[in-house]
Structure 1
Amino acid sequence: MRNYTIALLCCVLPIWLAAQVRWETGLLLGGAGYQGDLNPETYPLLKELNPAYGGFFRYYLTPSFSTRLWGLSTQLSGSDRNFPQDAPHRLRDFSFRTKFTEFSLTFEWDPFGKSHYPESKYRYHPKVTPYFFGGIGLARFKPETDYRVDFKVDENIAPPILADEAQSRTVQLPVVPFGGGLRLDLSKSTTIALEGALRFADSDYIDGVSASGNPKRRDWYAVAGVNLIVRMGVRDSDGDGFLDKIDACPRLKGVESARGCPDSDSDGVEDAEDACPEVKGSLISGGCPDTDGDGFMDSADLCPRDSGIVETEGCPDRDNDCIADIDDACPDLPGLPGFGGCPDTDWDGVSDKDDPCPDEKGLPGSNGCPEPDTDCDGLIDKYDRCPEVADTTNQYGCPDTDKDGLIDLDDRCPDKAGSLVFKGCPDTDGDGFPDPDDRCPEIADTTAGHFGCPDTDKDGLIDLDDRCPEVAGLLNKFGCPELRKEDQAVLLRARKEVRFKTGSAILLPSSQKILDKVAALMLSYPAYQLSIQGHTDSQGKDEFNLNLSKKRAKSCYDYLLLRSIDAKRIEHDGLGETKPIASNKTAQGRVLNRRVEFVLDVVQ
């Protein structure tokens, strides 16, 4: 790395002499430290700090953003002896040392860059400012690791050490540096900076220890120090404070407003391009006066005291119709040249200010007002509510298809004769609800909230939506009654009393009595549906238990079909051992878990 650094410095002088002000070069002197398997997590570890040096070139993309090419050389070291006396690492007693070189490319952000080197003029601002950077690089290293282990004493550590020795060789690895610093401008051409950065390498072998240490955590290192920076190409030939690079007249002393060129009238337009070099003007008007600031020099502006636009040769045009206000008969309304700048909204050839009907296109000789009868029904369009449809049966000029005295345009039911009270709709059952709003248009019912439908059992749910219209029930049961407590007890008993042959889906004879009672319940509650769910304990394989639970639920289903229960009212399934109600660790708990549950309810 030392040879690389010397070569880098030898290139600095010729490049410095020819480069522009965007370039800088510098040297780094500082220290480097490593963090990995052979150092404790306390950082930095001063006893393992090693000298670091290098050089770089920086190029400014903008005053605040730049890129930097690095060259760095240093040494890293670490040892288990850095750990506390009681740490197990002290018994291992590994150590390492490695020399390495690094080349990297970083991108930097200086939030106060414009205060150092503004684009319009170079000024020296001596103050401390921060900067931040990050990038990517390539590092080359060869760890020299002393494992200090007698394999005869500890045979278990031999394989990982042999694996680490096989991996520890001279390698080139990508690294990711990022960090920041503080810089101070000493003069126009020199700067000093304090800088620090972390380097993360894509390797756990910087110290030669991975398999025999902590292979899950990668090694990293940090470099910090002092940068001495020289700006290249700082020249100002005419001494006007503008660098030659940005000075439009590098041999003539000038001012900032004219980019470094002479400007006798101080109007920001250099004398060589100023049409009026002795009279102060503006850049947009070629250096001549522009009193109203509209971009037209006073000598060419038809309205030099009032700001205007190009289309009106510098005169104002408030309504933007390209007719100057001084020539516009309607200066606040966009208009047409043929009408003196006034509008003709209906395009009938009469300007709005002279048109009694400005929104209606008129006929020749009608002074701009229309008198047409488009559908020829004897009613002019102005009074015809249906000007495109001929009708002579009423005063509105519109058809009444159902002949109920309400024109189709206002009739809610235009194809059915109805009452004016119901906007032309009929009330077939005469209950006060028009047919479109009556859910039972053929059955009269005047109860509020029933939508014209009866509620036979008076349970608050109309018969149309009531599953049990003859028996008062609950809304959450769709109008059906709740199961009686004694009937609910039958379903709970069925869970305990329905039994099968061991490991089989064959019902025991003792199960038939309770299943008959379940069938009787279904006949007593014809609107209810039955759900049969089979369950097992955790003995045996999961797949066997699942299949067995399904078969047992199916056996109960088949039995109920034999008792004349409609198959559409029953569903069945098996859940295996997934939903126990007791512990499967005891015989009593497993008995409870081997069950068939019966759920009788009204479903949607």
Structure 2
Amino acid sequence: MKIRLKFTLATLVLATTVGSASAQVSNGDFSTAIKAPRTFNQINLASGWDNANGGTTDFYHKNARKCSNMGTSDNRLGQQAAFKGDGYAGIITYQNDKSTDLGASLKSMSAVEGSGYGKYAEYLSTKLDASLTAGKSYKFTYYVSLAENSGYAVSGFGAYFSQDALNQKSNAYIMVTPQVITSNVVDSKSNWTKISGTFTAKGGEQYVTIGVFNKPASSKAVGGGNGVNGIRAYYFVDGVSIASGVSEKDSDRDGLSDATEAQIGTDPNNPDTDGDGLNDGEEVTGQDNASTTVVASMTSDPKNACDPIKTGGDCDADGDGLTNAQEAKLGTNPNNVDSDGDGVNDKMDECPMIPGTEKGCPEIDNSGVDTDKDGLSDAMETKIGTNPKNPDSDGDGLNDGEEVLGKDSPSTELVASKKSDPKNPCDPINIGGDCDSDGDGLTNDQEAKLGTNPNNPDTDGDTVKDKVDHCPLDAGTVAAAGCPLDEELLAQIKNASEHIYFNSGKSTIKSESFADLDKLSAIFKAHTEVKASIEGHTDSQGNDEMNLNLSKARAKAVKDYLVKKGVDANHLSSEGYGETKPVATNETSTGRAKNRRVIVQTTMYKAK
């Protein structure tokens, strides 16, 4: 009955988090090319992709000839590397051509005055591997990057799903209501911006079209762009994917949705409801978080600290009369009633880790040669299985005599309460890299790598055990899986960090940065437990000393702004590194743009 119940729980969770996996986007990274592109308007050379209107959608691939200028990382519109794979698409989403003759401009690749058109837009479309299922929820995602040689940026990126392929003859905006749409202006020329949204399918949709529909809600001049490109918003598109059966809200990030936890009775704000060192998702599914494979024999009750029986200090896994916690102190096996196999139950065995006779202890005959000087004769060591030529057979820092006799050698008096296993490096349990000294589910070696305390199951003292704590060194909340900041706030910090602008060659912050900096100040004032560092960086152009001083001044300007807005100055630090920490090559303008940055880092967010 127990296994049947567990399997039902696991099946329930998977039913709420996993949908049909058949609806997929083939060639979403544009790696598969029928042949390498040689010029513009060749999106049909990307396997599975095509235009959706009369526009001239472009395809870029790493195998394109250099002379064609249609490669990734270096082409006619910019130097952006692919987000994923070997290629990407390129589309015009806006053209401020009120005073430009579109036909003449397209032919000459330079602005030609004229009456203007104002409706030109490009799209790309593909057929899904399978049609969508009515009533199912889907999450659609793709990434865009504003081309370096582009003078405008727009909002309104979206995706439209249809039963039949769109094939508008004109090159004007497609006038439909997309199921996925975003409202923010995408103006980053150095990074890929994620476009994502969820929707419920009507059923039968098998084509998706990507672009800006019904004309962009807003546009802005961003500078840059030569000739006709200076009046365009041109974007690279990559990393297209769709996922079905989108998971519901998971507040504690344990792999179970809040709705599922309410249904099965676990705490949606505590990733380890029963405190046994395994998060609720691992117990219910029998696998690591987000697994879609159920192994019934591995599932356990997330509300019972004694299930699985190998964990839980107050449990008696093997029924020998000793709790798991007591066995951990003794060094005995909590899943074996007779750890040393001498026929005496561990609870009754005065030497539970050393085979013996009377009361479970070996007969003491410690006379004779003691080669390794550990207090045990060679004959004795041969009898109990330790190495007579190694005073510390298990390498735990205690010599064999100390462990077997329970006190300093060469005494022959047995003190059962102090003895330990001379062949087990985890006995005493507070020593040994493969041991779990504090019973939190992490070995001492794992804790050493994490920097957590191997003798404290909750290093940062926030009531979330180290194994399930996403931020084990920073006290946080149970609801945020042990972190002081949740994913949404981290995303806001990262986004704001990427939109701090300065006047050229100066440390004066531009006014368009104020809104994002105000968001940062609000977050830091609301979370006084968080400290942040502000780093200034430059590219390699110009004098090294001037670059260093400029980076320091810009970082300090950001700190001063936040302090002026009410953030505790003691929680902020600023430093400039000049050109010493590049994140991209300084050989291209795109790389240099990435290197010119001011980033805000907290204990939870590390910018690249």
TM range, normalised to the smaller chain? under 0.3
Normalising by structure 2, report the TM-score. Answer: 0.23
Report 1 or 2 for greater relative contact order, CA contacts < 8 Å, sequence distance ≥ 6: 2
Q: Which has the larger radius of gyration?
A: 1
Normalising by structure 1, report the TM-score. Answer: 0.23
